[in-house]
Amino acid sequence: MKTDIKYDRNILLICLAFVVMFGVVAGYPAEFLAVFLLAYIAVQYARLRTLYQWARFSEPKEIPFEKGLFGQLAELIHHSTKQRLVEKESVKYQLDRFKKLISVFPDGVVILSLKNEIQWFNDQASRLLILKKEDTGQLINHLVRHPRFTHFLKNFKDDDVIVMEAPSAETNWSAEKIEIRLLPYGDDERLLLIRDVTKIERANQVRKDFVSNASHELRTPLTVMKGYVEMLLASSSDETVQVASLKKVDQQVVKMQTMIEELLALSRLEEGKVDDSQASINLRGLCEQIKAEFQSAADKRKQALIFDIPKTLNIKANKASLLTIMRNLVGNAINYSDEKGEIRIGWLVDDQGQGSLFVKDKGSGIAPRHLTRLTERFYRVAENNVKNKTGTGLGLAIVKHELDRHEARLVIDSQEGEGSCFQCVFPPERF
Ligand code: ADP
């Protein structure tokens, strides 16, 4: 586009010359000049308005003037607007990239002003702290009202970290514990980082529980034994008291031995120091061995042990592991069922082709609140302990580990007072 600043001046000078000439010829040069100047001002004002209207659009389309000072001005405005748009696009692109990057972050991120107003947050933060889009601009301490969080916001120093219950714990979202950290960011903003530490906290809790449970479980039989030994010493002449006391001591020794063997088995499983050889095991044959081992215990309690396993069913597994699993499940079914109960051991294939080896009893059953914890070490249901005083609470933990080694899982279905069904679900590749 051609622009020329002198263009306006030349037009003005030519027009002036004509107006003066006509004015002199007509005898009114001053009046002609005044009228011309007024008209000139009006035209320039109109052009200025056109330029202003045009410049107000952020994306000017056609440039309204091609020549003269206005053309030059329009060209400058057009150029700088174009440049601004390019810069805006680039900033938007960078911002989008940054947001995408932060949104795939496994941790929650909230940008806060120095007054704790929410500036921006990613999806994780929205889930962990239950923030909604409309919450932008709100004070975060009005939305997250945990006293520890409020205190942390007021008094935080660099590197301070708190762990607290997740506000989302009450919803379906699985986070229970979150770790919160606050970092200064830029001149007047702060970055709140939120990490889901539910699993770490659970592992810590399991470790603490383990130490306290193991000490407690080993101390109880020792206390019982000490009591009987003291009784033996005090009544050394009465033989019947001695035999009864020694039997009790023996029971406790067996319990302690079992517990220590099971703990060692668990730690071997966890460290992977186990026999990994796997063969095609005939399940019917294996169950016959289990039946032979448990029949007399079941007979004593007048319980029926019913096995229903297809003759030709083979499982690719470690034989010792399968035996351990079945011993624990069948042993539990006998121990936690009333006299004259019925225990069924069978095999089922579901729609997805997974096979379940199940042990079903009509025993005391388990309340739903215990079900997810049964495979924790030392976890025992207090109500059922009366039925089996010799239990250690380690059996199902071992079963779970053994099944993990075979890409299988334990599914527990139980109704309080009606019985339980423990299913070992194997993937189709295993049979
Ligand atoms: P334990 O040595 O106490 O039997 P387990 O780990 O095998 O340890 O089982 C954990 C708890 O689960 C038991 O203490 C018992 O309360 C409950 N339980 C296991 N199997 C059954 C069952 N078939 N019926 C009812 N409760 C059971």
pLDDT in tens, 381-406: 887 776 677 788 999 999 999 999 99
User: Does the beta carbon of 324 lie inside 6 Å of ligand 1?
Assistant: no
Ligand 1 centroid vs 309 CA: distance in angstroms? 24
Determine contact, residues 302/339, Cβ cutoff 8 Å: yes
Mutate to test the pocket of ligand 1, among 336, 342, 402, 422 (most ligand atoms within 8 A of CB): 336
Residues 6+ apart with CB under 8 A from 113: 119, 188, 189, 190
CA 268 to each of CA 78, 271, 327: distance values in angstroms, whole numbers, following the listed order: 76, 5, 18
- Residue 291 CA to residue 268 CA, distance in Å, equals 27
**Quick one: tokens of 408?**
């299988």
Output the pLDDT for position 233.
77
**pLDDT tens digits, residue range 252-271?**
888 888 888 888 888 888 77
Pocket lining: 361 vs ligand 1, CB cutoff 6 Å: yes
Q: Which atom number of ligand 1 is nearest to the Cα of residue 380?
A: 14
Q: Which pTM was predicted?
A: 0.57
| 375 DSSP 8-state letter | T
* Residue 328 burial (C-beta neighbours within 10 Å; 0-12, 13-18, 19+): buried
| Closest residue by CA, ligand 1 atom 21 | 332
Q: In sequence order, which residues have a C-beta less than 8 Å from that of residue 311 and are 6 or more positions away?
A: 284
The count of other CB atoms within 10 Å of the CB of residue 123 is: 14
Q: Name the phi and psi angles at 390, rounded to 5.
A: -90, 0
The CB-side HSE value for 86 (13 A sphere, CA atoms) comes to 6
The neighbouring-strand residues paired with 178 are 164, 196
Ligand 1 pocket, 381 CB below 6 A? yes
**Measured in angstroms, how far is the CA atom of residue 424 from the centroid of ligand 1?**
15
Residue 127's identity, in one-letter code, is R
341 touches ligand 1 (CB under 6 Å): no
pLDDT at 423: 97
pLDDT of residue 333: 95
pLDDT of the residue at 5: 67
Q: How far is CA 287 from the centre of its chain?
A: 40
Beta pairing partners, 308: 346
How many Å apart are CA 400 and CA 172, to the nearest integer?
26
Rounded Cα distance, 226 and 232, in Å = 10
CB within 8 Å of 79: residues ≥ 6 apart: none
Q: How far apart are CA 397 and CA 394, in angstroms?
A: 5
CA of 381 to the centre of ligand 1 (A): 7
Predicted local distance difference test score (pLDDT) of residue 227: 84
Domains of the chain are 7-99 (no CATH), 105-196 (3.30.450.20), 201-271 (1.10.287.130), 280-430 (3.30.565.10)
DSSP conformational letter for 169 = G
Ligand 1: which atom is nearest the Cα of residue 392?
A: 2
Q: How far is ligand 1, taken at its centre, from the CA of residue 380, in Å? A: 6
Distance 292 CA to ligand 1 centre (A): 22
Query: Is residue 364 in contact with ligand 1, taking CB distance under 6 Å?
Result: yes
* Residue ranges in 104-197 assigned as alpha helix (H): 123-129, 140-143, 147-155
Cα separation, 196 vs 179, in Å, equals: 6
The total of other beta-carbon atoms located within 10 Å of residue 81's CB is 15
- Per-residue confidence (pLDDT) for residue 170, from 0 to 100: 60
Neighbours of 296 (CB within 10 A): 8
Residues of the chain with pLDDT under 70: 1-5, 57-61, 169-173, 236, 386-387
* Cα 278 to ligand 1 centroid, rounded to whole Å: 28
The radius of gyration of the chain from alpha carbons, rounded to an integer in Å, stands at 42
C-beta 330 within 6 A of ligand 1: no
Pairing of strands 342-349, 304-308: parallel
Question: Three-state SS for 30?
Answer: helix
Distances (CA, A) of 218 to 65, 211, 223, 382, 392: 96, 11, 9, 17, 10
| CA proximity to 116, closest of 148, 147, 156 | 156
The span from the CA of 109 to the CA of 294, in Å, is: 57
Distance, CA of 110 to CA of 330 (rounded, Å): 53
CA separation for the pair 85, 81 (Å, rounded): 6
